[in-house]
Each structure stands twice: as structure tokens, then as C-alpha cells.
Amino acid sequence: MRRTYFTILFLSVTFFSKAQQDYIATINAWHEQRIANLKKDNGWLNLVGLYWLKPGKNSFGSGADMQVQFPKGTIPDEAGYFEVKGTTVTLHTNNKFAAQINGTEKNDAIIFSADSARPAMCSYGSLRWTIIKRDDKLGIRLRDLESKQQKEFTGIERFNVDSTFKVNAYLEKPQRSSISITNVLGQTNDLQTPGKLIFTLKGVRYTLDALEEGDQLFILFGDKTSGEETYPAGRFLYADKPGPDGTTILDFNKAYNPPCAFTPFATCPLPPKQNILPAAITAGEKNYEQH
């Protein structure tokens, strides 16, 4: 009996150790993909500018007197102008300079309109820019594929993987169909919510309001580590939509920094007050100190 007991105990410990190792490997692989996505051409490390446009003509180039001033040396001093009429933005370049618009060299082109399926991709040298719309504001989001931050990026510090921060959650149907979300520009919008996630962490019950994004739930949250070990404005987390029993899994080991942790040129949403947890979530990404 004694030998059988120790055999069972040994097998149980071995199985648990293997399962834990597999789980840690899964989280590490997820994080490696997260880093790879940050480094992509459409990642957040290469943003170098965000310029809000005014109605009419907006001169642009690298010259000091340009209304939209691109980084010095990346483009001619006087490259042309962006013309805004309503929600339509047209790019006009001077005769000595032409940008690539969706891969084709042009001097004049509509690069954004309300009817566009997506904004045009404009490029010149290592620069890439598109038009973004935030409520009634139109702006130019500028990337430099050879940006200093892109070249010097060495990764993001994380908490140790801790499986106790992987919890079951129940999605409770909402009393209201929307919640108010404010972004870093101070703009507030009511966004559709599928409900409130209810879960227990270390014996304490908590709730987080969720948003829908495609086939997943999107959660904006803050906690007692915010502004200390993690980004002050909170972190992001995704979860699968619940199954037929109404439950899903929240894995805070996959909590990650919003784009604003890496660049001042992003327009991140902020966690609503009810999503600031009175607990320290010591899992997932820590603050990105280089920014």
C-alpha cells in the first residue's frame, strides 16, 4: 500500500509538472507572436506622427513652416498639401515629388472618403501614412519603417506565468445594451456590450464589462498595479465568446499593454471606472519603460 501511494503521488506530481510546463510554453508562444505583431509594418513601434487636419488646405513636408511637418530628412521640405472637404481628403503633391498611393505613383489622389472601403496607403521612402477618423476629427497616422524605436526595441518585461490568474468567467446579460468608453483624446462613445463577466480570483468575486470584437470578447481593465508595475491607463485582454453554458476563460497571463504604452501617436480607449479592479493582477505584461 505504501509503495502504491508513493507511486500515485509521483505520477500525479509528474503529470502536474508536465501540464504546467505545457501551459507556460503556450503562454510564451503567445507572447512571442505578440512581439512579432508589434514589429510588423502595421505594428505600433514605428508610429512617428499623428497630425489632425483642418478643413481646406494643409501644407505638408519636412520644412519648418509646413502645417503638417514630417520628420526632417524623410521627405522634401515642401511636398504638397492635403485638402479636406467634408469627410473627403485629397493628396496633392508638387511637380517634383510623387508619392505611392496603394502602390501606384501619383501626384493627386483621393486618399479618404466616407464611401471608401478603407483609407488609401500612401508611401514615400521608408514612410507610410493613412487617414484615420475619430468622431469628427480626421488625421494622418504616420509610420517610419526605419524608426529608431523599431530598431532599438528589445522586448517587454512580464510577470512570471501564474496559472492561478487563468479563471473561469460567466457572461451575465447586460441591463443596458451599451457602455460609455472614453479614449485618450477625451472623446466618449457608447459601445455595444454583450454583458458583464463574473469571475472569482483568489477567493474574491469580481466583474468586468466586456465589449465585442469579431468573434471574441474585448476587455479594458485597470488594477492595483496600474501606474506602478504596469501601464497607468490599464491593459487589454481578449477572451473567447462563451459556449452554450455561458462561460469562458479569462487568462490574465495574456493581459497586454495598449498601443499608447509604446507611442504618443495612438488613440487608445480607456477602461471604464467599473473595470478598475481593487486587486493586483500580477500577470501579463508590465509597463514598457522605454516610452
Q: Is the pLDDT of residue 247 over 90?
A: yes
Q: Is the pLDDT of residue 10 over 60?
A: no
Q: Is the pLDDT of residue 279 over 70?
A: yes
Could you read off the pLDDT of 26-36 as tens digits, one per residue?
999 999 999 99
165 or 15, which is more confident: 165
What are the Cα distances from residue 277, in Å, to 3, 161, 189?
47, 20, 22
Q: Is residue 37 very low, low, confident or very high in pLDDT (cuts 50, 70, 90)?
A: very high
Residue 253 per-residue DSSP state: G
Alpha carbon 185 to chain centroid distance? 15
Q: Is the pLDDT of residue 1 over 70?
A: no
Could you read off the pLDDT of 119-148 as tens digits, one per residue?
899 999 999 999 999 999 999 999 999 999
Could you read off the pLDDT of 152-168 as tens digits, one per residue?
999 999 999 999 999 99
Query: How far is 7 from 168, CA to CA, in rounded Å?
Result: 31
Q: Kindly state the average pLDDT of the residues 249-268.
A: 96
Point out which residues pair with 261 in neighbouring strands: none
What domains, with CATH codes, occur in the chain?
A: 47-146 (2.60.200.20), 154-275 (no CATH)
Give the per-residue pLDDT at 14.
55
Q: Is the pLDDT of residue 270 over 80?
A: yes
Segment among 38-42, 104-108, 115-119, 133-137 with least mean pLDDT: 115-119
Q: Kindly state the average pLDDT of the residues 101-109.
A: 93
Q: Kindly state the average pLDDT of the residues 77-96.
A: 94
CB burial readout 122-133, b (16+ within 10 A) else e: bbbeebbbbbbe
Query: How far is 237 from 209, CA to CA, in rounded Å?
Result: 12
Give the per-residue pLDDT at 118.
85
Query: How far is 188 from 180, CA to CA, in rounded Å?
Result: 6
| Local structure of 244: helix, strand or coil | coil
Q: Kindly state the average pLDDT of the residues 212-221.
A: 95
Give the per-residue pLDDT at 57.
98
Give the per-residue pLDDT at 96.
82
Q: Kindly state the average pLDDT of the residues 49-59.
A: 97
Query: How far is 235 from 189, CA to CA, in rounded Å?
Result: 19
Q: Is the pLDDT of residue 3 over 60?
A: no
Q: What angle do CA 6, 25, 211 make, to 5 degrees?
A: 120
Q: Kindly state the average pLDDT of the residues 260-272.
A: 96
In the chain, the N- to C-terminal Cα span, in Å, equals 60
Query: How far is 287 from 290, CA to CA, in rounded Å?
Result: 9
Give the per-residue pLDDT at 19.
86
Give the per-residue pLDDT at 6.
46
Phi, psi of 52 (to 5 degrees): -85, 135
177 or 289, which is more confident: 177
DSSP collapsed to 3 states, 106-159: ECEEEEECCCCCCCCCEEECCEEEEEEEECCEEEEEEEECCCHHHHHCCCCCEC
Q: Is the pLDDT of residue 217 over 50?
A: yes
Q: List all residues 6 or more positions away from 236 whose beta carbon is below 8 Å from its beta carbon.
A: 218, 219, 220, 255, 256, 257, 258
Give the per-residue pLDDT at 16.
57
Give the per-residue pLDDT at 117.
77
| Local structure of 221: helix, strand or coil | strand
Helix, strand, coil: what percent of the chain each, to 5? Answer: 20, 40, 40
Phi, psi of 33 (to 5 degrees): -70, -35
Query: How far is 63 from 214, CA to CA, in rounded Å?
Result: 42
What are the Cα distances from residue 57, in Å, to 18, 81, 291?
63, 6, 33
Give the per-residue pLDDT at 192.
95
Could you read off the pLDDT of 185-206 as tens digits, one per residue?
999 999 999 999 999 999 999 9
**Nearest Cα to 129, choosing from 188, 186, 80, 85?**
80
